């Protein structure tokens, strides 16, 4: 495996692309201590994909595959990324339908076979004591979850809120749920938006967390939610001109 240089700056500027119609986005700035789970949540709003199904791949500046970012608990800074490199967002559902349509057999590697390989991202992280294999990873994770728990404890279901996410416009809505979400790390806030700008109807992975119309619901990290007096705007589209 190549001798990667791990950068230690607080932020990294990355290009973003998707597997859907080869769409690309302007360079985005991300904190190095963000987890891959939280990064996917940000990329969900940027690309329109689903953080629950997307896969991330890192490419070098000369467009060569660097690694797959499969460890959702790892921090972005644990991967050997530098300014100007690219994160490619692969839609899992799109990839699956294409393979089935073309009847191409899928390559699968068992857990035992994967563990024996010494050229994987996991082996790189273990050797260099990075990501979840670092000494202070669990401490940082616990601290982050404590901060998220303190934030949701100050929120009340039914209160008005504003959702502010990097590279996306602010959205107004109502807090419908606070707590853990099955399959996702940390604590989350279920929001019903005033407009159909969400991703779901309050259901995630066949589990119902709150009620709202389709495309009005979303799950957001607590640090991106501000509660307060945010009156619902009038979105009456039936006005006569």
- Of 174, 159, 240, 162, residue with least CA distance to 213: 174
In the prediction, which pLDDT does 27 show?
Answer: 81
Please list the ranges in the chain whose pLDDT falls under 70: 1-9, 20-25, 92-109, 114-115, 122, 129-135, 234-241
Using the Cα atoms of residue 170, residue 206, residue 155 and residue 212 in order, give the sign of their dihedral.
positive
> Does some domain include residue 193?
yes
In the prediction, which pLDDT does 228 show?
Answer: 95
In the prediction, which pLDDT does 2 show?
Answer: 40
User: Phi and psi at residue 195, in whole multiples of 5°?
Assistant: -120, 160
In the prediction, which pLDDT does 87 show?
Answer: 93
In the prediction, which pLDDT does 5 show?
Answer: 41
In the prediction, which pLDDT does 241 show?
Answer: 40
pLDDT, tens only, 141-157 = 888 889 999 999 999 99
> Does some domain include residue 214?
yes
> Does some domain include residue 6?
no
Which residue range forms the structural domain that includes residue 87?
11-133
The answer on 30 and 114 residing in a single domain is yes
In the prediction, which pLDDT does 235 show?
Answer: 53
- State how many domains the chain has: 2
């Amino acid at each position: 495996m190549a001798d990667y240089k791990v950068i230690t700056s607080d932020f990294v500027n990355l290009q973003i692309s998707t597997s859907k119609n080869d769409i690309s986005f302007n360079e985005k700035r991300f904190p190095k201590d963000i987890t891959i789970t939280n990064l996917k949540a940000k990329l969900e709003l940027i690309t329109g994909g689903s953080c629950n199904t997307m896969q991330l791949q890192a490419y070098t500046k000369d467009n060569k595959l660097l690694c797959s970012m499969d460890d959702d608990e790892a921090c972005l800074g644990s991967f050997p990324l530098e300014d100007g490199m690219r994160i490619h967002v692969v839609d899992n559902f799109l990839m699956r339908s294409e393979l089935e349509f073309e009847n191409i057999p899928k390559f699968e590697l068992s857990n035992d076979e994967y563990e024996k390989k010494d050229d994987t991202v996991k082996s790189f992280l273990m050797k260099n004591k990075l990501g979840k294999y670092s000494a202070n990873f669990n401490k940082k994770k616990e601290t982050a979850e404590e901060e998220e728990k303190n934030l949701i404890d100050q929120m009340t279901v039914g209160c008005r809120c504003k959702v502010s996410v990097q590279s996306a416009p602010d959205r107004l809505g109502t807090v419908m749920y606070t707590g853990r979400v099955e399959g996702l790390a940390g604590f989350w806030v279920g929001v019903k938006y005033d407009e159909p700008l969400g991703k779901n109807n309050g259901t995630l992975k066949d589990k119902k967390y709150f009620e709202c119309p389709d495309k009005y619901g979303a799950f957001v990290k607590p640090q991106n939610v501000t509660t307060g007096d945010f009156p619902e705007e009038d979105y009456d589209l039936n006005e006569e001109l």
